[in-house]
């Protein structure tokens, strides 16, 4: 029977936690009662540095923070040990908080499902995810079937982002965020990725184990404010592109080669114009120097960028291979 853990990153989520915990407890208890998962399955909240008002007989001035995220998690744990908590020393961002949860739980669980605290992702797909895991999948991605709840701008930019990433060589799952199930084997393999600048939805597919998807419709946020306004979404998009691909450098290289090629054509044209007397004095030399030097500079920057890109990929220390299966004489 599968020992399932839920990893839920939280940052100033006091408004949603009571309802989130109630719904998750009901779903997990239902799966336990039906024999779908082990009674030892747990719900783990990762508190991403949310500030907690101090408790003592002295009066402390809390500079604008009224959040009780960690207090609520502690109360939930006291009431029912199905709830567990992990508190980061300070805010490290959603991706690092989620990574902390996954790496902390990988030795405790058979499989871990990551989901945001706002429960916009469909918790009723847990059964299907576990079923696919028990059928041999090491990673099960939650994929949105449609984006009708999004504004036109968000839908257009989000779908465009996934397409751009794929064109740049980053193999991300279309319309998938961070709602997924990962097996213990997948988590152990993922722990070999030691890089600091992380973009989980682009890194998980690199593992390469058997995977599948479950589709769902994303609902509205239960309460509170979105933790991903436009500014953070753009920052995440840029992080994804620069962390997973050196294609922008190669674009500069190709652009430099194209400009240099055009400069050769322009040099030939300017020389013909000069000898035929069609040009004003000084025009040919100026045109040649601008095009030739500009093209050479872009080409040189691109070549240097290629080497920097290789150094960049080396410093990430990603595993060069991950073994899926071995057939040998020692296998029983």
Written in H, E and C, the secondary structure of the chain is: CECEEEEEEECCCCCCHHHHHHHHHHHHHHHHHCCCECCCCEEEEEECCCCCCCCCCCCCCCCCCCCCHHHHHHHHHHHCCCEEEEECCCCCCHHHHHHHHHHHHCCCCCEEEECCCCCCCCHHHHHHHHHHHHCCCCEEEEEECCCCCCCHHHHHHHHHHHHHHHHCCCCCCCCEEEEEEEEHHHHHHHCCCCCCCCCHHHHHHHHCCCEEEEEECCCCCCCCCCCCCHHHHHHHHHHHHHHHCCHHHHHHHHHHHHHHHHHHHHHHHHHHHHHHCCCCCCHHHHHHHHHHHHHHHHHHHHHHHHHHHHHHHHHCCCCCCCCCCCCCCCCC
If you average pLDDT over each of 82-96, 144-158, 221-235, which comes out highest?
82-96
Task: Please report which confidence band the pLDDT of residue 11 belongs to, taking 50, 70 and 90 as the band edges.
Answer: confident
CA–CA dist 60, 135 (Å, integer): 54
pLDDT higher than 80, residue 212: yes
pLDDT of residue 328: 67
Greatest alpha-carbon pair distance for the chain in Å reads 94
Task: Please report which confidence band the pLDDT of residue 165 belongs to, taking 50, 70 and 90 as the band edges.
Answer: confident
Q: Mean pLDDT over residues 5-12, rounded?
A: 88
**Is residue 209 a contact partner of residue 139, using CB atoms and an 8 Å limit?**
yes
Percent share of the chain, pLDDT over 70? 86
pLDDT of residue 30: 92
Question: Mean pLDDT lowest for which of 89-93, 133-137, 278-282, 328-332?
Answer: 328-332
pLDDT of residue 157: 78
Percent share of the chain, pLDDT over 90? 21
CA atoms within 13 A on the CB side of 204: 28
pLDDT higher than 60, residue 224: no
pLDDT higher than 90, residue 150: no
Q: Mean pLDDT over residues 88-96, rounded?
A: 81
pLDDT higher than 90, residue 223: no
pLDDT of residue 250: 81
Q: Mean pLDDT over residues 251-258, rounded?
A: 82
**What pLDDT, in 10s, does the model give residues 18-76?**
888 899 999 999 999 999 999 998 888 887 665 444 332 222 212 222 478 888 888 88
């Amino acid at each position: 029977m599968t020992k399932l853990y839920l990893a839920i990153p939280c940052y100033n989520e006091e408004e949603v936690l009571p309802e989130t915990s109630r719904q998750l407890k009901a779903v997990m208890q239902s799966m336990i009662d039906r024999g779908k998962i082990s009674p030892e399955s747990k719900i783990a909240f990762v508190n991403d540095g949310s500030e907690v008002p101090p408790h003592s007989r002295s009066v402390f001035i809390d500079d604008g923070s009224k959040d009780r995220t960690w207090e609520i998690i502690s109360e939930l744990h006291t009431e029912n040990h199905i709830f567990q908590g992990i508190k980061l020393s300070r805010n490290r961002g959603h991706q690092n908080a989620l990574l902390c949860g996954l790496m902390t739980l990988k030795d405790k669980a058979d499989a871990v499902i990551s989901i945001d605290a706002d429960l916009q992702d469909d918790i009723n797909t847990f059964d299907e995810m576990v079923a696919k895991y028990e059928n041999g999948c090491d990673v099960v991605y939650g994929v949105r079937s449609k984006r009708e709840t999004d504004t036109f701008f968000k839908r257009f930019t989000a779908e465009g982002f996934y397409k751009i990433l794929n064109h740049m060589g980053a193999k991300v799952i279309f319309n998938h965020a961070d709602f997924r199930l990962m097996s213990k084997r997948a988590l152990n393999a993922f722990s070999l990725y030691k890089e600091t600048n992380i973009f989980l939805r682009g890194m998980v597919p690199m593992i390469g184990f058997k995977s599948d998807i479950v589709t769902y419709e994303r609902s509205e946020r239960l309460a509170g404010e979105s933790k991903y306004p436009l500014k953070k979404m753009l920052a995440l998009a840029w992080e994804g592109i620069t962390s997973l691909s050196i294609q922008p450098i190669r674009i500069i290289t190709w652009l430099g080669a194209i400009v240099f090629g055009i400069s050769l054509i322009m040099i030939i044209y300017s020389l013909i114009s000069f000898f035929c007397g069609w040009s004003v004095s000084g025009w040919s030399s100026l045109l040649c120097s601008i095009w030739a030097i500009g093209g050479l500079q872009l080409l040189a920057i691109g070549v240097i960028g290629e080497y920097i890109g290789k150094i960049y990929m080396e410093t990430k220390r990603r595993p060069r291979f991950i073994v899926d299966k071995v057939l040998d004489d020692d296998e029983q």
